[in-house]
Amino acid sequence: MKDFFRSLQYLKRYRVRIGIGMVCVVLIAGIWGGGLGLLLPGAKILVDPEGLHGWVYREFAQDRLNTTLVRKSMRDDRNFYEQHLNSVLEVSGVKKHDKACDLKTGEWVVGRVGPGGQVEPLDDRQMVRYLSQLPLEQASTLSVFDPDSGKFHQVTVQPVEKPTALARAEQKVVIGALTWVHEPQNDAQRLPMFVWLLVLVAVLTLIRGFLTFLQEYLVGTAIARGIMDLRCENYNKVLHLPTTFFSEKGATDAMSRFLQDIGELSRGQNILLGKTLVEPFKAAAVLVVALKLNWQLTLLTVIAGPPAFIMLRKLGKSMHRASKRALQSVSLLLGVLEETLTGIRVVKAYTMEGAERKRFFNVNRQLLKQQYKMERLDAVVGPAIEALGLVFGLVATGLAGYLVFVGSPWFGGKMDPLKFLVWLGTLFALFDPVRKLGKIGPKFQQSDAAAKRIFELLDTTPEKQVKNAPTLGRHCQSIVLENVSFRYPSASDDAVKNVTLTIKAGQSIAFVGANGSGKTTLASMLPRLLDPTAGRILIDGHDISQYSIRSLRRQIGLVTQDTVIFHATIGENIAYGLRRPKQEAVLQAARKAFVDEFTRTLPDGYNTMVGEHGATLSGGQKQRIAIARAVLRDPAILIFDEALSQVDGESEQRIHQTLAEFSKGRTTLMIAHRLQTVLEADLVAVMEQGRITATGRHEQLIESCSAYRALFQNQLQ
C-alpha cells in the first residue's frame, strides 16, 4: 500500500479541506452513534411500563448498589398487590464479592426504613428514584420481602460511587437533563415525549445530512485538485523523459498511465477519504453503544475481527496482482487501438481488418480474464465477511438469549429483554460499516497497483541535465564529434560506433548510408534527443552535455522525415515553439518554404485547421510547413532528414530550393536520400553499420569509395 499512501502526499496542500472533512466525519459518526443510543430510550418511552425516567433511575440505582434490578408487576400476585404495592423492584442479580449491599437474588425491595425504624413502602418507580440518590458511602436501611419465605426483613446498603470521572459526569448530565423532562403519569402523557424524541431524531438527521454534504464536497474537490497536481507533475515529467523511454515503452503506455491509472487512483482516494472514511468512525461509535449495552457479549462478537482481517489481507494481495495485470492489458489495448487507428489506411489497403480484429480481441480477452478475477474477488468479500460475522454474532446472540431467560452471575444476573433487542439492533448496525469496510479493502489494492504504475513513470530518470548549466552561445565556429558512440538501452550492439568528425560552421554535410546504418541516431545526438553513451560532442569547443539543453535546442532547426504536425491552424503550426510570433515573420517564413503556394488556395488561408497529425495535408505540404517552422526560428544549425517518399516531384523541387536558400550561412546536417542533395553538399559522409567509413565530396567518393558507389547506383539515382 506504500504507493497508494505516497499518492496522498499530493493532498497535503489541501489539508484544510481534508481537515474540515475529517471533523465532519467524526461529528457524523457521533450523531450516528447518538441516534442508535436513542433507540433504547425510545423503546422505553414507547413500550416499557417503567418508562424513560424509571429506566434511567434504575440504571443509576444498579450502579450504586452494584446489583441488577428489574421492575416486577404485582398484578399476578394478587395477595401482595392488594395489601401493598402494584409493582416492586426485584433483585435479579448480585455481583460476587460485593460489599455495597446484602441483597440477594430474587428478593423484592419494597420500602425504605426511616431513622425511627418506621417503614415507608415504595413502588418500583419511587424506589429507583430513592436508590439512585442515596447518599454515598453511608449506610441506609431498606425493607426487603423474600417471596420464598413470605417474610419481610431489613437490609443495610452502602452505595458506592461510580469509579471514573467520566461516568460520574455522565450521570450528572443525564440526571440533569431528565429533570427537564416531565415524567408521564399515564400512557397519554407519553405521546408528547415520543414526539419530541422524533423531532430530535429529525434534527440530528438534518445536521448529519448537511455534514455529509460538506464532507463529501470538501474532500471530493481536494482530491480532484490533488489529482490535477499529480497529472501536471506527471506531464511535466513526461516532457523531460529521454526519447528512448517512448521508443521502448510506446507513447500509449504513458497515456494509459495518465488516464486509466490516475483515474483508478482517484477512485481509491475518494473511497478512502470520501464516503467510506465515515465507516470506521461509525463502526467505532456503534461499538461504543454496543459495549455500553453489554460489553461482554459485544467483545465476543468482535473476536470475529482478526480472522476477517487475515482473510481480507489474502484477498487483497490477489486483487493487487489481478489489478496490475488488468492495467497492463488496458495499456496494451490502447496501444493496439492507437496503432490501428493511426494506420487505418494501411490496415484497409492490406485488408488486415480480420487479423487486427483478432489481435484486438486477444488483448481484450486478456483484460476480461483479469476483470473476471477481480469481480470474483470483489464478490466473495461481502458473503465471506457476512458468514464470519454471522457465526460469531449467532454465538453471542445465543448467549444473550440465555442471559434473558436464565441469567448468569458472571454477566450481572438476568438481561433486560428490551436491552437485548436494542443490543441486537446495534450489532446489525455495527455489521453494516464493517461489511462496507471489508468490501473496500481489495479496492485499495486496485488503487495501489495503479499508484505503483504512476510512480514508476514519475521515478524514471529524466534527461540528463547539469544543474544551473550555462547558456551555450550561438554557434559560429565548428561542430566536433569526438569518438561518439551510442547504444539503445534494449540493443546488444552500438547503433553509432566511435564516430569522429569535424564540421565547420556554415558547412553543409550529407550523411548517406543503407537503412539502419545509424544516420538518424547520429543526427539525434546533436540536439541531445539522445546522449552519447561514449565520446562527446563539442559546439564551438564547448561540450554540449555541460550546457543548458534549452540554449542548445533553440539554435537547432529540426526537420524530420515523419513531420510532426499538431492539431492546430497552419499559422500556429509554423509558429510552434515561439512565444510571441510576429505575423509578418510567419508569413515570410511561409513564403520562403513555399507554404504560401498551397495555403493561398485554402478558404481560411493560414487559419485553416489541419487534422490530427496533419491528416488533411499531403506529405510534401507537411514537410514544407516543418521547414517554414525551422526557417522562422532562424537556427544556426539545421538538421534535415530528407523524406523518402510522400513527396511529389514538384514539392521535392520546392523543398530543395528552400533548403539551398535557407542553409546558406548555417551549418546543415542532412540525411540524404536524393542525388541532388548530395551533389549540393559541401561534404558527404558515408555511414556503414554505425561507423563513418569515408568522407569527401561526391566526385571524390565516386572515385575512391566502393560502398558509396554502390549506394549511388542503388539509392541516390
Binds ligand ADP by CB under 6 A, chosen from 143, 266, 426, 517 = 517
- Segment interacting with ligand ADP (CB under 6 A) among 252-260, 333-341, 407-415, 485-493: 485-493
Compare residues 545 and 561 and give the one whose CB is closer to ligand ADP.
561
Compare residues 112 and 673 and give the one whose CB is closer to ligand ADP.
673
Task: For the segment 228-247, give every residue that binds ligand ADP (CB under 6 A).
Answer: 247
- Segment interacting with ligand ADP (CB under 6 A) among 102-110, 226-234, 303-311, 510-518: 510-518
Task: Tell me the β-bridge partners of 479.
Answer: 503, 539
Is 521 a binding residue for ligand ADP by CB under 6 A? The answer is: yes
Instruction: Provide, rounded to whole angstroms, the least separation between the CB of residue 444 and ligand ADP.
Output: 37
Compare residues 368 and 644 and give the one whose CB is closer to ligand ADP.
644
**What's the start-to-end Cα distance of the chain, in Å?**
62
- Segment interacting with ligand ADP (CB under 6 A) among 9-17, 402-410, 450-458, 509-517: 509-517
Instruction: Provide, rounded to whole angstroms, the least separation between the CB of residue 495 and ligand ADP.
Output: 3
Compare residues 126 and 715 and give the one whose CB is closer to ligand ADP.
715
CA-closest candidate to residue 604, choices 569, 565, 573? 569
Residues 119 and 112 sit within 8 Å (Cβ to Cβ): yes
Output b/e per residue, 123-137; b: 16+ Cβ within 10 A.
bbbbbbbbbbebeee
H runs (alpha helix) in 8-142? 15-37, 39-46, 51-65, 78-83, 124-132
Is 527 a binding residue for ligand ADP by CB under 6 A? The answer is: no
Amino acid at 15: R
Compare residues 239 and 491 and give the one whose CB is closer to ligand ADP.
491
Give me the torsion for CA of 464, 466, 469, 473, rounded to 10°.
-50
| Residue recorded with cell 436508590 | 131
Compare residues 426 and 520 and give the one whose CB is closer to ligand ADP.
520
CA-closest candidate to residue 292, choices 617, 38, 576, 546? 38
Instruction: Provide, rounded to whole angstroms, the least separation between the CB of residue 386 and ligand ADP.
Output: 53
Amino acid at 666: R
Backbone phi and psi for residue 576, each to the nearest 5 degrees, phi listed first: -55, 130
Reading the block at residue 679, the C-alpha cell is 551533389
Compare residues 246 and 598 and give the one whose CB is closer to ligand ADP.
246
CA-CA distance, 539 to 479, in Å (whole number)? 5
Compare residues 179 and 492 and give the one whose CB is closer to ligand ADP.
492
Instruction: Provide, rounded to whole angstroms, the least separation between the CB of residue 451 and ligand ADP.
Output: 28
CA-CA distance, 487 to 496, in Å (whole number)? 7
Compare residues 249 and 474 and give the one whose CB is closer to ligand ADP.
249
CA-CA distance, 622 to 573, in Å (whole number)? 10
Compare residues 323 and 623 and give the one whose CB is closer to ligand ADP.
623
Amino acid at 38: L
CA-CA distance, 686 to 707, in Å (whole number)? 8
CA-CA distance, 685 to 708, in Å (whole number)? 9
Binds ligand ADP by CB under 6 A, chosen from 179, 185, 351, 515 = 515
Compare residues 316 and 690 and give the one whose CB is closer to ligand ADP.
690
Is 92 a binding residue for ligand ADP by CB under 6 A? The answer is: no
Compare residues 192 and 516 and give the one whose CB is closer to ligand ADP.
516
Instruction: Provide, rounded to whole angstroms, the least separation between the CB of residue 656 and ligand ADP.
Output: 20
- Segment interacting with ligand ADP (CB under 6 A) among 97-105, 125-133, 306-314, 514-522: 514-522
Amino acid at 341: L
Instruction: Provide, rounded to whole angstroms, the least separation between the CB of residue 256 and ligand ADP.
Output: 20
Is 516 a binding residue for ligand ADP by CB under 6 A? The answer is: yes
CA-CA distance, 445 to 313, in Å (whole number)? 10
Instruction: Provide, rounded to whole angstroms, the least separation between the CB of residue 479 and ligand ADP.
Output: 18
Instruction: Provide, rounded to whole angstroms, the least separation between the CB of residue 356 and ligand ADP.
Output: 24
Instruction: Provide, rounded to whole angstroms, the least separation between the CB of residue 712 and ligand ADP.
Output: 16
- Segment interacting with ligand ADP (CB under 6 A) among 2-10, 287-295, 442-450, 487-495: 487-495
Is 520 a binding residue for ligand ADP by CB under 6 A? The answer is: yes
Compare residues 518 and 532 and give the one whose CB is closer to ligand ADP.
518
CA-CA distance, 362 to 378, in Å (whole number)? 24
CA-CA distance, 345 to 361, in Å (whole number)? 20
Compare residues 327 and 692 and give the one whose CB is closer to ligand ADP.
692
* Alpha-carbon distance values, 200 to 42, 116, 196, 197, 466 (Å): 11, 47, 6, 5, 67
Compare residues 217 and 488 and give the one whose CB is closer to ligand ADP.
488
- Segment interacting with ligand ADP (CB under 6 A) among 124-132, 145-153, 284-292, 518-526: 518-526
Binds ligand ADP by CB under 6 A, chosen from 290, 481, 495, 565 = 495
Give Cβ neighbours of residue 306 (< 8 Å, ≥ 6 apart).
none
* Burial of 684 (C-beta count, 10 Å sphere; 0-12/13-18/19+): buried
Residues 87 and 67 sit within 8 Å (Cβ to Cβ): no
CA-closest candidate to residue 626, choices 560, 673, 527? 560
Give the x-and-dash track for 355-394 against ligand ADP (CB under 6 A). ----------------------------------------
CA-closest candidate to residue 140, choices 123, 125, 160? 160
H runs (alpha helix) in 634-674? 649-662
Instruction: Provide, rounded to whole angstroms, the least separation between the CB of residue 486 and ligand ADP.
Output: 8
Reading the block at residue 229, the C-alpha cell is 497536481
Give the x-and-dash track for 433-472 against ligand ADP (CB under 6 A). ----------------------------------------
Compare residues 82 and 493 and give the one whose CB is closer to ligand ADP.
493
CA-CA distance, 400 to 424, in Å (whole number)? 9
The 8-class DSSP code of residue 605 comes to G
Instruction: Provide, rounded to whole angstroms, the least separation between the CB of residue 521 and ligand ADP.
Output: 3
- Segment interacting with ligand ADP (CB under 6 A) among 83-91, 164-172, 502-510, 517-525: 517-525
Long-range contacts of 422-426 (CB under 8 A, 24+ apart): 422/39, 422/40, 422/43, 422/293, 423/290, 423/293, 423/294, 423/297, 423/298, 424/397, 424/400, 425/36, 425/39, 426/36, 426/39, 426/286, 426/289, 426/290, 426/293
Is 513 a binding residue for ligand ADP by CB under 6 A? The answer is: yes
Binds ligand ADP by CB under 6 A, chosen from 491, 580, 645, 649 = 491
Total number of residues that touch ligand ADP (CB under 6 A):
13
- Segment interacting with ligand ADP (CB under 6 A) among 25-33, 215-223, 471-479, 508-516: 508-516
- Segment interacting with ligand ADP (CB under 6 A) among 153-161, 285-293, 484-492, 655-663: 484-492
Compare residues 434 and 495 and give the one whose CB is closer to ligand ADP.
495
Compare residues 215 and 520 and give the one whose CB is closer to ligand ADP.
520
Segment (H or E) for 141: strand 140-146
Instruction: Provide, rounded to whole angstroms, the least separation between the CB of residue 530 and ligand ADP.
Output: 9
CA-CA distance, 408 to 402, in Å (whole number)? 8
- Segment interacting with ligand ADP (CB under 6 A) among 89-97, 202-210, 512-520, 591-599: 512-520
Is 532 a binding residue for ligand ADP by CB under 6 A? The answer is: no
> Which parts of this chain interact with ligand ADP (CB under 6 A)?
247, 488, 490-491, 495, 513, 515-521
